[in-house]
Copies of this chain bind each other. A is one copy, B any other.
């Protein structure tokens, strides 16, 4: 690829009208990386949105098959970026190249998965009720309903997944699959990675004959994000990041003259409960798995296990001791950027000073952009009265909650805020308690895990990545898996429409062969 431009991409055209530039910083060296990126101006933001609005209908009219070809082409173009992409992402994020390569595979896999969803086509939940002209007292009209693309979507890239939750990540892939143009705001931590991926999307769009404006890329910080979220033509927002930023975006969107949906995935502390029966048998195995899940990627995952909860006693002491040892012996890691490292360092320092907190393991003093694993502990009683202990420390820190008994452990479940995930380790003799605990935990989470670890979010049809607030702003939807497409559409009913005005999905002969409800009965006829 030609060298990085440091510009916006307004549709297929680079644009550079601003006067406020920034550079990415290599978190490992602390040094700026070439080149400069210009932040978008409000005018550029609106141009991108207007362009998306102007071709929205054109893109909608592209068949699922043609959207699928576009998505597959994006995956190919990303793969063709080869080492250049890996190297740039490593420089900008401090993540190891194997991790970036794995994330690239996940990203391309996601694009191809949504290609399949778009091509297969049944996601539109088509429902037809045939006319009943002789019904008494009034005839029933012909009614046909399906999910229809919302229009231009704003996607906010995440810091911790420079590929899979960024410019061509799950939000963008699912929005394209649904038939919505995307305006992506790059995360300012990795503008170069974002530009490379953005150019790959533009290339795919041109190559597959998509209308110019189906995709735009904006660089910049909060101000650019706010312009985008307020722009008239934006119909919904996808976001992955912090609670503060997500709630701010959501508040902004709900105060618009015409409020729009915001799908903000804001992370959580992903409690892990270990019941007596599990510890009796597999204490060491659980300790190893937990520590790995905690330390992986310097703890910078939204499903990172930030709470470990059990009942005081020899087994749990042993488990905690073993986790603490592994954390103490772990190597510190480069965090994604200075801001995250500082915020993690400050969070750990503040928590260390609390009178209701003990430190079970602290690997090393924080310095520069480096983060180290930390294990705090508190009692069940303290946890129940101090809600601030539920706050996420984004990084490899966890809080052990030592309950007096299983009843107190159940109280802890009831006191939890909304979570992306919740985990229960249990053994045979725990069955009574699991039966009480599991439904209570399910109420608090998007995904409940048994004898496993919260990190490692499968991308498939049965994934739910989204939980009650504050984990996400809208627990009714997922940002991972095939169902993520449902965020970008709304139902429309056509009443007594002439056949030629109906979308193909609702036409009599079902040209795409999708699953539909006809008079309430599911079938492909």
Contact = CB atoms under 8 A, between A and B. Distances in A.
A30 to B, nearest CB: 33
Given A141-B452, A447-B492, A475-B490, A460 B251 contact: no
Interface in A479-509: 482-483, 489-498, 501
A491 B483 contact: yes
A515 B520 contact: no
Interface in A109-146: 122, 125, 127-129, 138, 140-141, 143-145
A14 interface: no
Given A254-B254, A520-B482, A143 B463 contact: yes
Contacts of A442: 148, 492, 494
Interface string A235-256: 0000000000000001100100
A126 to B, nearest CB: 9
Interface in A442-499: 442-443, 445-452, 456, 458, 460-464, 466, 468-470, 473-478, 482-483, 489-498
A503 to B, nearest CB: 9
Contacts of A495: 447-450, 452
Interface of A: 57, 60, 122, 125, 127-129, 138, 140-141, 143-145, 148, 151, 250-251, 254, 258-259, 261, 418, 434-435, 438-439, 442-443, 445-452, 456, 458, 460-464, 466, 468-470, 473-478, 482-483, 489-498, 501, 515, 517, 519-520, 522
A257 to B, nearest CB: 9
A138 B456 contact: yes
22 contacts: A60-B439, A127-B461, A151-B443, A251-B254, A254-B254, A258-B470, A434-B501, A435-B501, A445-B492, A446-B491, A447-B492, A447-B493, A447-B495, A448-B493, A450-B498, A451-B496, A461-B520, A462-B517, A464-B492, A476-B489, A478-B491, A515-B522
A261 B460 contact: no
Contacts of A477: 491
Contacts of A450: 494-498, 501
Contacts of A443: 57, 151
A82 to B, nearest CB: 21
Contacts of A520: 460-461, 482
List the 8 closest A-B pairs by CB distance, nearest first.
A464-B493, A143-B462, A129-B462, A127-B462, A447-B493, A449-B495, A145-B462, A254-B254
Contacts of A448: 492-495, 497
Nearest to A259: B469
Number of copies: 2
A148 B475 CA distance: 11
Nearest to A487: B476
A475 B488 CA distance: 11
Contacts of A456: 138
Among A461, A470, A496, chain B packs the most CB atoms within 10 A around the CB of A461
A258 B445 contact: no
A183 B498 CA distance: 43
Contacts of A144: 462
Nearest to A130: B462
A390 to B, nearest CB: 13
B259 A501 contact: no
Contacts of A515: 522
Given A145-B464, A452-B495, A476-B491, 6 more contacts: A141-B458, A251-B254, A261-B474, A438-B501, A448-B497, A450-B496
Nearest to A56: B443
A446 B494 CA distance: 9
Contacts of A492: 442, 445-448, 464
Contacts of A466: 491
A454 to B, nearest CB: 9
A143 B501 contact: no
Among A125, A469, A495, A497, chain B packs the most CB atoms within 10 A around the CB of A495
A439 B501 CA distance: 9
